[in-house]
Every structure is written in C-alpha cells, then in structure tokens.
Amino acid sequence: MGKRLSVIIPTYNRRHVLERTLPALSAQDLPREEYEVIVLVDGSTDGTVELLRAWRPDYAFRVLEATHRGPSASRNTGIRAAVGDLILFLDDDLIAIPDLLRQHCEAHFDSQLQVVHGPIYIADGSSQTIIRHVVENFYKSYYHSLNPEMELHYPEGLASSMSVLSSLANSSMSRDVLLRSGGFDEQILTAEDLELGIRLWKMGASFRFMPTAIAYEYYVKSSREYLSGQAESLGAGELRVSRKHPEYRPYSRMSPFAEASVPKRWLRSALMGPPLSLVPLIFPPLRFEKWIYRWTPLRRLFVHFFRIAERITRLRGALDAAGSWNDLRNEFDRRAPTLLYHHVGPQLPGDPQAISVSPQHFERQMRWLARRGYTGITAIDWLRWRRNGSGLPEKPIIITFDDAYADTAECALPVLRRYGFGAVMFVVTGQVGGTNRWDEARGSSTRRLMTAEQIRNWSGQGIEFGAHSRTHADLSRLSASDLATEVVGSKKDLSSLLGSPPICFAYPYGAYNEVVRDLVQSEFDLAFGVDEGINYLRSDPHGMRRIHIGPTTSVLEFALCVHRGKIKQFRDLRARLALRSRFRSLLGRITGRFSHQG
C-alpha cells in the first residue's frame, strides 16, 4: 500500500542544520504509515551522510546520495523515488510544526492539479545577521499580503501571481502532476522553483495559500555568504527563467531598467562595466554584522547598503549569464515614446483646432528624430521584443496615426519611407474609402479616408494597420452586443482586407472601461489609449501610452514629448502664462485709457 505523502529534502553540507530540523518530522501528528521522508545528499563532505545513516526515526526514512549537481537534480531524483501520492518539498533548514504534514494532506481533497503553499517564518535561534533581518521582514510582509481565498488563473493573473510562484518550499502537489510536468529544470540552479511554478500554472494548476501550515526557517547563512554565492546565482537564474518563459519578463527584477532616471542609468552602466564588482568592499564590516544587528540605527544603515549590494550582485549574475552588458540591456533596457497624430495635411475651415499637422511641420519632426538616432518601429516590433527580448534598435519610437485620413497617406507616409521609419495607422473599418462621419456629425469639415487599395499598398511598405472600431464610437457607452460589433467586427474587417488579423487596436477618443478593455484584450495583443507617458517593458500592453502631437507643437515641446513622454504640464504652464500676459495687456490698455481720459 502506497503512502499518502512523500517529504523531499535536498541538502548540501548542512549537517549542523539538519540536527536542528530533522527532529520536528518525528513529532508529526500524521500516522507514521502515511508518510515517508527522503533526504537527497547532494555531494556533501561535512559528515551529513554519517548523521543521516545513524538517524533511526519511527517513520519511513530514506537517504539518497549523488554527486554535487544542485537542488533541481536532487529534487527530481526524489520525485522519481517517492512512493507517496503527494509530494511535499521542504528545505533542509525548515522546522515543521506538528500538524504540517497533516494539513498538507487534508488540503488535497478536491483537485489533483493543485499546489498548496504554507508560509515560512524565521525560527528562534537563527543567526543575528543583516540578511536574516531582511528575509524576516520580507516573510512578514509577503505572507500578510496573501489571501487564502485567492484564485489565480493563467494568463489573466500574471500581474499578481509571480511572487506566489517564486518558491515551492513548504509546498505540496501531486506526484503524478510533477512527473507529467517534467520536474525541475536542472539547468537552472537558482530560481528553479519559479520556473517549475510557471510551468505547473500553464498546465492549469491552481495555487492555494494555507496560512496555518507554517514552517520555521532556521537561518544560519551570513550576509557575506549570501552575496558571494546565492545572490549572483539568483540573477543568472532569473534571466534564464525570463528567456524560457517570456511572459515573466515584465515581472523580473530586470524589467524596470529603462524606467530609471538618466543619472541612475549612467551609474548602473558604470558599475556593470568594470570586470570586478565593488560589492566585496562591504565585506570587511560584515565580519561584525552580529554586533551591528543589535544596534538598530546601525542595522538600518547596513540594511540599506546590503540592498544596494544585493541588486548589484544579482545584476552581475544576470550579466554573466547574458554574455555582456550590451546583451542584457538589449533584452530589458528599451523605452518606446509613442507619438499620436491624427491628420497630416492642409487644414480646412471647420477642422478641430488640434487635429491637423502641416506636412512641413511633420517632416521637420521626422528629420529631428532621424538626426538624433531614433528609429520608427511598428507595434509588432514592440510586441516581438516584449515577448522575446530581441529585435529592437537602440532608440525606438512608435509613430501612430488615428482614423487613416487619405491626406495622411499622401503627405506623411512618403516622408516616413524616406527616413526608413515604420509606423502604425489605425483604421475605422466601417468607413474605409469613405469620410470622417464622426467628425461631420459635430460640424467639422469633411475629409476623405484611405481606400482599401491604399491600405493594402502601404501595408507592404513598412506601415502596420490596426483597428480603430467600425464607426469611431465611444466604446465605454455601448451595450455588450454593440461593443462586440465595434471591436470584434473591426478585427474581422481588417483581417479580410489584409489577409491576416491585426495585432493592435486604438480606443476611439481614448475612452475605455474594464469591460471594453477585457474584450479588446481577448482580441488584440496591444491596445493604445491617449494617456501620456513612455512605454516600457512593464507597461500595460492594453493601455499603451501616447503623446498627442498637434499643429502648434513647438520644437521644445516635441523634444519633451520624445524624452519625457509628458507635455500636458508644460502646455498648461504655457497657457497660464499666455493668459496672464493677455490679462496684463488688457489691464494696461484699460489703465492707459483712464489716464488718458484724466
């Protein structure tokens, strides 16, 4: 008869820790015949094997030895050797509470595709070190933030789930599911839990947090040991996970690269350039970290230094795995300012004030971009980089046009072709070859829209076409059926016209709510709004930011749009100054008239 539960514990040169943690497994209230413990000795040389051979517990206990290959290989060996229906992973420094095993068994009553995770807290008697203090505070805040009722589904839950997937210590799951998943990736020596967690999630596994299934970590690692070993491995492991699971890239520690200020980016490059790290400079003071730990102000100061050192060390680990600093930057350090134009061409009486940009003005702006090294990319270029980290130039920019006016095709697109720029044109598919009826209804002048022939012609010349609804309706005000007609229908129209489905959508008037966004997300890979800002790896792909370029946009304003992604505050300030000038001028005329009359 098989066991209900197999406990798998990998260990490497931690005899003194196992002496502290193993007795807790003999104090479990689960019947002895219902569980086994398998300890995987990963090439230890400190007497661990002798300790374990002498261990005589009253439950099924096995010791498996292997050459030093890392925890992934050890756990996989344990999974294959286990006889339990369920597998519980414990680290060699975790002390189980008396009902831990029973709680894990009882949690698996309604689903085989389930991962049950219990919290980990720092055990009394752990070393008083800076790293212990950092980890302790992380555990407290992290587990306090988890909700036992949470339901996470792939891929909708990506934004809120990566931390939950990052550790499989004190986690249990079906052995059959683990075997079907292929187990741990043995090429990833650190962050292997995260990689397997993502794979299990893709298989459809649900994740359940059980706050009462507590294990206490007997933390003995020094800060110096962590920085000189584990931190660098975590950086390399995180990069490998990002490459294997591109959907993780926006949530990795490298994802905020491009969002840093210019001075921080320069400093980061300076720190990564030299072949030797500056982190060992803080090692000598860490010899006294147990004394530092007792003095709260000094401990806070060293926590700050430690966090900086950890970020540098992780980054250098990722750099080594990437091959070079430039390779790593190419994968994560890209920012895409996105310009929004409507009509490029001559302005007509009755045009909305901010809609038309003259052809001369537009060409000056494109020349400005080209001279400063920018490259116009398409939405699919950005999506491809976001997914796999390759293919973008050093200074990308996305140039978009809403409504697909015929004038824009005649005046702007040839300019883009001269400069080798790609761009994105959003089409109101129900009006292809027609006119701007949504503007006409408001009293604007009539303008021709691109024909089907023009759209097909330019789609082969570096211009990407996306959907802009069928009638340019305010989607946030529509019924469910009308909304589907506008969104899904525009995708079908453009697919039929171009022979392939569009990947991007622009919200008419920039208006959308949660219902609109959910439908657009189900149909398109990217969606563009009108909120100002720069787009980064972590930016919402269905809330892409754009900066509106109008007929009065000055050179300074255009530069601010490109470099900062924000212009509204500058324009508001300019409007206030202009209003103040007009007020002073008016006041001067009035006072001058009074003095003349006097």
**pLDDT above 60 for 571:** no
DSSP 501-564: --SEEE-GGG---HHHHHHHHHH-SEEE----S-B-TTS-TTSB--EE--TT--HHHHHHHHHH
Given a contact cutoff of 8 angstroms between Cβ atoms, the answer to whether 130 and 286 are in contact is: yes
Structure tokens at 483: 């909304």
C-alpha distances out from residue 56 to 177, 543, 583, Å: 31, 60, 92
Q: Dump the DSSP string for 145-169.
A: H--TT----TTTTHHHHHHHHT--T
The domain defined by 338-566 carries CATH number 3.20.20.370: yes
Report whether the peptide linkage leading into residue 148 is cis, meaning its omega lies within 30 degrees of zero.
Answer: no
What does the alpha-carbon distance between residue 459 and residue 438 come to, in Å, rounded to a whole number? 25
Contact 14, 48 (CB under 8 A): yes
E-strand stretches of 43-157: 60-66, 84-89, 94-96, 114-117, 120-122
Which residues neighbour 463 within 8 Å (Cβ) at sequence distance 6 or greater?
378, 413, 416, 422, 423, 424, 425
Is the pLDDT reported for residue 267 higher than 90?
no
Q: Average pLDDT for residues 442-447, to the nearest whole number?
A: 84
* C-alpha atoms less than 13 angstroms from C-alpha of 549 in its C-beta half-sphere: 31
Q: What is the four-CA torsion angle of 196, 199, 201, 202, rounded to 10 degrees? A: 180
Task: Say what the pLDDT of residue 1 is.
Answer: 41
Supply angle C-alpha 12, 13, 18, rounded to 5.
Answer: 90
Distance CA 132, CA 221 (A): 8
% of the chain beyond a pLDDT of 90: 71
Structure-model confidence comparison of residues 598 and 144, the more confident one: 144
How far is the first Cα of the chain from the last one, in angstroms, to the nearest whole number? 114
List strands edge to edge, sheet with 3-11.
60-66, 35-42, 3-11, 84-89, 171-174, 114-117, 206-209
- Would you say residue 122 has pLDDT above 50? yes
Tens digit of each residue's pLDDT (9 = 90 or more) over 373-429: 999 999 999 999 999 898 899 999 999 999 999 999 999 999 999 999 999 999 999
Cross-strand bridge partners of residue 466: 426
**Interatomic CA distance for residues 99 and 81, integer angstroms:** 24
What is the tens place of the pLDDT at every residue in 339-385? 999 999 988 776 666 789 999 999 999 999 999 999 999 999 999 99
Which DSSP symbol is given to 444? P
Cβ partners under 8 Å of residue 32, min gap 6: 58, 59, 60
Given a cut of 60, is residue 303 above it in pLDDT? yes
For the cut 70, the answer to whether the pLDDT of residue 296 exceeds it is: yes
Please state whether the predicted TM-score (pTM) of the whole model is above 0.75: yes
The CA distances from residue 241 to 324, 506, 521, in Å, are 18, 32, 25
SS (H, E, C) 106-122: HHCCCCCCEEEECCEEE
CB atoms within 10 A of CB 585: 10
- What are the tens digits of pLDDT across the range 493-520? 999 999 999 999 999 999 999 999 999 9
Write out pLDDT tens, residues 465-486: 999 999 999 999 999 999 999 9
Is residue 18 within 8 A of residue 48, CB to CB? The reply is yes
CA atoms within 13 A of residue 169's CA, in its CB half-sphere:
23
The predicted-structure confidence for 24-64, as pLDDT tens digits, reads as follows 999 999 999 999 999 999 999 999 999 999 999 999 999 99
- Helix runs in 166-280, H state only: 175-181, 192-202, 223-225, 231-244, 262-272
Q: How far apart are CA 549 and CA 168, in angstroms?
A: 49
In tens, the pLDDT along 552-568 reads 888 889 998 899 887 66
Please provide the CATH number assigned to the domain covering 3-221: 3.90.550.10
The winner for highest mean pLDDT among 102-116, 145-159, 497-511 is 497-511
- Whether 387 and 246 have beta carbons less than 8 Å apart is answered as yes
**If 0-12 CB within 10 Å is exposed, 13-18 middle and 19+ buried, where does residue 78 land?**
buried
Residues 261-266 have a mean pLDDT of 86
Q: What is the mean pLDDT of residues 449-464?
A: 95
Instruction: Please enumerate in sequence order all residues whose Cβ is within 8 A of that of 370, keeping only pairs 6 or more positions apart, or say none.
Output: 419, 421
